[in-house]
Amino acid sequence: MTATVKYDEVEVGQELPARTFPVKRVDLVKYAGASGDFNPIHWNENFATSVGLPNVIAHGMFTMAEGGRYVTDWAGDPGAVIEYGVRFSSMVVVPDDEGAEIEITGKIEDKLDDNAVVIALTARSAGEKVLTRAKATVRLA
Amino acid sequence: MALNRDFLGRAFPPSEPYEVSRVKIKEFADAIGDPNPVYRDAGAAKAAGYPDVIAPPTFPIVISLTAGSLTDPELGLNWAMVVHGEQRFEYQRPLHAGDVVITEATIGGIRSIGRNERLDIQTVIRTVEGEHVCTSHNVLIERGV
């Protein structure tokens, strides 16, 4: 498959539409099961606070997955991702009732050979940057 | 607690073969809330040019940290204090249902950052036929108390 976004129609500096992804405790329980990461800091508030965390926190990989979804939805082909990396700079704190939100924005940072572009991502939750140095390289049509 | 520096540079034996299944991919896609049909409908995936349903880009994490490597008590990693520091994947192609893969993990770095311990792990994912599919670079941080 090829991406639906055309390389020639993308410019360096172009901003991608922002999106917000909600996170509830049940999402973390599902993610724990699907990923095999059952660290109790992601689902047990008593445990999380006992090890010095403010509350249950989302798996970093859950946040990274939402960033991946942001990129693949935009590009139109999940198989078009060549490289994807992030640094987890802060925690997504997920209270029991209200949950949390992850707001993601993206910008075309570079255009490479072979129709590849580098997308720089930002992800915030409760005003904190939860991902830094987040970049995805995607091959466009 | 300081991690055992003897593990620096250690390459772990290849994992047992892991079969990427449609059910696991769908479970993972459901868990991240991604409704894309190429993750759950083989017909849609084939129409898009793939042999079967493909896995989301972060799916390889499922098989990146399972190598017995990190649970060895000699390493001294306290999982209760571990947070994920960085993660990067390099893809040759997406994983798809039917792939049978083997992972090989290497500890590329162990160092102290203030009171924390930083552990760098590289995991190469290949099919049993030897095709390189993906490389995963993990950085784990064990928080100091």
pLDDT for residue B115 is more than 90: yes
Cα–Cα distance between B137 and B32 in angstroms, integer?
A: 21
Which phi and psi angles does B113 have, rounded to 5°? -130, 100
What is the mean pLDDT of the segment spanning A25-54?
A: 95
- Chain A residues whose beta carbon lies within 8 Å of the beta carbon of residue B38: 1, 78-79
Nearest of B39, B7, B44, B11 to residue B119 by alpha carbon: B7
Asked if residue B29 is part of any domain, the answer here is: no
Instruction: Give all domains of chain A, ordered by start, each with its CATH number.
Output: 7-23+59-139 (3.10.129.10)
Asked if residue B36 is part of any domain, the answer here is: no
Q: Which of B40, B86, B113, B142 to probe the A interface (max A CBs under 10 A)?
A: B86
pLDDT digits (tens, 9 = 90+) for A50-100: 999 999 999 999 999 999 999 999 999 999 999 999 999 999 999 999 999
Q: What domain count does chain B have?
A: 1
Query: If you average pLDDT over every residue of chain A, what do you get?
Result: 96
Provide the pLDDT for residue A1: 59
Provide the pLDDT for residue A73: 97
pLDDT for residue B67 is more than 60: no
Which CATH number belongs to the domain containing residue B79 in this structure? 3.10.129.10
B87 touches chain A (CB under 8 A): yes
- Chain B residues whose beta carbon lies within 8 Å of the beta carbon of residue A52: 143, 145
Question: What residue in A sits closest to B78 (Cα-Cα)?
Answer: A39
CA of A38, closest CA in chain B: separation in Å? 10
Confidence of residue B102 (pLDDT cuts 50, 70, 90): very high
pLDDT for residue B9 is more than 80: yes
A69 touches chain B (CB under 8 A): yes
Asked if residue B43 is part of any domain, the answer here is: no
Instruction: Give me the residue from A21, A66, A79 closest to B54, CB to CB.
Output: A79
Provide the whole-model pTM: 0.95
**Which of helix, strand or coil describes residue A76?**
coil
Number of neighbours of residue A121 by Cβ within 10 angstroms: 24
- Chain A residues whose beta carbon lies within 8 Å of the beta carbon of residue B89: 83-85
pLDDT for residue A30 is more than 70: yes
- The two tokens of residue B124 are 């190469």
Question: B92: domain range?
Answer: 5-19+55-142
CA of B90, closest CA in chain A: separation in Å? 4
Query: What is the ipTM score, two decimals?
Result: 0.96
Cα–Cα distance between A40 and B101 in angstroms, integer?
A: 28
What is the mean pLDDT of the segment spanning B30-36?
A: 97
